[in-house]
Amino acid sequence: MSFIDVLLVIFFLFFVGSVIGWCIEVVFRRFFTAKKWINPGFLTGPYLPLYGFGVAGLFGISRIPLHTGMVWLDALLLILIMGVTMTLIEYVAGLIFIKGMKIKLWDYSKRWGNIQGIICPLFSFLWLLVGAAFYFVFDGPVLEAVLWFVRNIEFAFVVGIFFGVFFVDLGHSLHLATRIKKFAEERGIVVYYEKLKEEIGARKAEIKEKASFMFPFKSLDQLKESLAERFKKFSSERKSRAEGQTTSETMPEEDAAMSETAATEDRVELTPPEEKDKGADM
């Protein structure tokens, strides 16, 4: 294949992986974690780039010619490379959001052996299982899909539409992220993005207002109000813990939509904002 063909195949795999990954995460949250329908991830639309990069990476890794002379050893090495690659993708993505945007999309800080709450041995092992499943089960169907795409290159038009929507969505989401980042930096915190979505939905349910699955932050004013309200609750809970007055009604730290942060992303003292900060624009 030419360079252009290879590039189109990568775009196609990113498109397929992002959409399928989003579907998996929606179902996983509904039945195993949040127990409700939540639009996962940082973007608005039905796609998760982490999975898009993952599928493209797994497909490429599975084509690496090792030729050790032992089929089982080739398979084992490729699966190990897949697990390490997926863990690195997860780590880099998490680090970009936490360090650069003060947003945490997932949190493994309560799991054994975690690194900065971004990766942990358990999920690295799960990525190994994903790599094994891809190598032994899904590589063939994915290859068939790629070959179909190459034979029906006009489908690239659909992939092009996907990326057009994707980049518009990315611009919109980054705009929201800059507002969240400003709020978080002023208060020395990291915002749990999906917990914030959950709390907005719960609050809307309390006042009998329908929550939006795709657009939980319908306006910047709504986002600012939600962050300010959550920070007020967070500060109150932290003060109670500091005074030794924590009760069973206090939200556990892992369920909070905000957490304290420092340059190393470890725990530090959180200085309450000045009165003038309470009304600061995001």
| Helix (DSSP H) and strand (DSSP E) numbers for the chain | 9, 3
Does residue 188 share a domain with residue 72? no
- Domain end: 165, 188, 211, which one? 165
The residue out of 165, 190, 206 marking a domain boundary is: 165
Q: Indicate whether 75 and 142 sit together in one domain.
A: yes
SS3 state of residue 258: strand
CA 211 vs. chain centroid, Å, equals 21
Pair 153, 258 in one domain: no
Q: Are residues 10 and 133 in the same domain?
A: yes
Tokens of 230: 């959550």
Q: Is the Cα dihedral 206, 28, 196, 112 positive or negative?
A: positive
Residues 6+ apart with CB under 8 A from 187: 231, 270, 273, 277
Residues 41 and 131 in one domain: yes
- Give residue 188's pLDDT: 85
Query: Please, which contacts does 198-201 make with residues 24 or more away whose CB atoms are closer than 8 Å?
Result: 198/34, 198/36, 198/38, 198/257, 199/226, 199/230, 199/257, 200/226, 201/36, 201/38
- b/e map 225-242, b = 16+ CB within 10 Å: ebbbebbeebbebbeeee
**How far is 257 from 276, CA to CA, in rounded Å?**
23
Residues 248, 150: one domain? Answer: no
Q: Examine the fold and report which residue of 165, 188, 216 is the final residue of a domain before the chain moves on.
A: 165
Structure-block tokens of residue 13: 């795999």
Q: CB of 61 within 8 A of CB of 22?
A: no
3-state secondary structure at position 110:
coil
Same domain as 77, residue 93: yes
Number of domains in the chain: 2
The gap from C-alpha 124 to its chain's centroid, in whole angstroms, comes to 16
Domain check: are 92 and 207 in the same one?
A: no
Q: With a cut of 50, which residues of the chain have pLDDT below it? A: 246-255, 262-282
Q: Note whether 158 and 190 are same-domain residues.
A: no
Distance CA 138, CA 29 (A): 23
Domain hosting 229: range is 170-278
- Residue of 193, 253, 252 lying closest to 223 (CA atoms): 193
Per-residue model confidence (pLDDT) at position 224: 67
Whether residue 175 sits in one domain with residue 160: no
pLDDT for 19 = 96
Q: Are residues 183 and 145 both part of a single domain?
A: no
**DSSP class of residue 251?**
P
pLDDT of 77 reads: 97
196 and 252 housed in the same domain:
yes
* Cα three-residue angle 268-236-209, rounded to 5 degrees: 120
Backbone angles phi, psi at 104, to 5 degrees: -115, 120
